[in-house]
Amino acid sequence: MSRVFILRLYQNETIHEVIEKFAAMKHIKNAICFFLGGAEDKSKLVVGPKDGTVMSQQIMLTLLKGVHEGLGVGTIFTGETGNPKLHMHGSFGRNDATANAVTGCIRLGVQVWQIGEVIIFELSGGNAIRKKDMNTGFEMLEC
């Protein structure tokens, strides 16, 4: 491990945008990070296709209905352009009989509701990068 960073996120900030901007500013190339806080109504998650086949991200999109409590874990590695790219999955839920817990990738836009805390643990060494996979269209980690 190398440096450790603690971030406070604010109402309506988009989690992945704030983390990637911060990582670029601090020249973070490899890291693991954690999110804890609230997610705003209509935040977007990539949840995966029902039948297990690879589909476009638009088909795999779900919106949160109401504000949710959430937590996430992710990694930061640079993409093909050299910019830091976050891959984070989060789980979001609420104490409501009409709501279900939702788990998925935050890439399409999870906005903070009131509280957002992020801890980034920078990793030293390594040369992994994210490259676009031609079969799936996803940015895959290559070591």
Q: Which three-class secondary structure state does DSSP give residue 20?
A: helix
**Is the CATH code 3.40.50.80 the one for domain 4-142?**
no
pTM (2 d.p.): 0.92
How many Å apart are CA 32 and CA 77, to the nearest integer?
Answer: 9
Domain layout of the chain by residue ranges: 4-142
Q: Could you read off the pLDDT of 109-130 as tens digits, one per residue?
A: 999 999 999 999 999 988 899 9
- Residues 66-117: pLDDT tens digits? 999 999 999 999 999 999 999 999 999 988 766 678 999 999 999 999 999 9
DSSP 38: E
Give CA–CA dist 23/68, Å, rounded: 26
19-60 pLDDT, tens per residue? 999 999 999 999 999 999 999 999 999 988 777 776 665 568
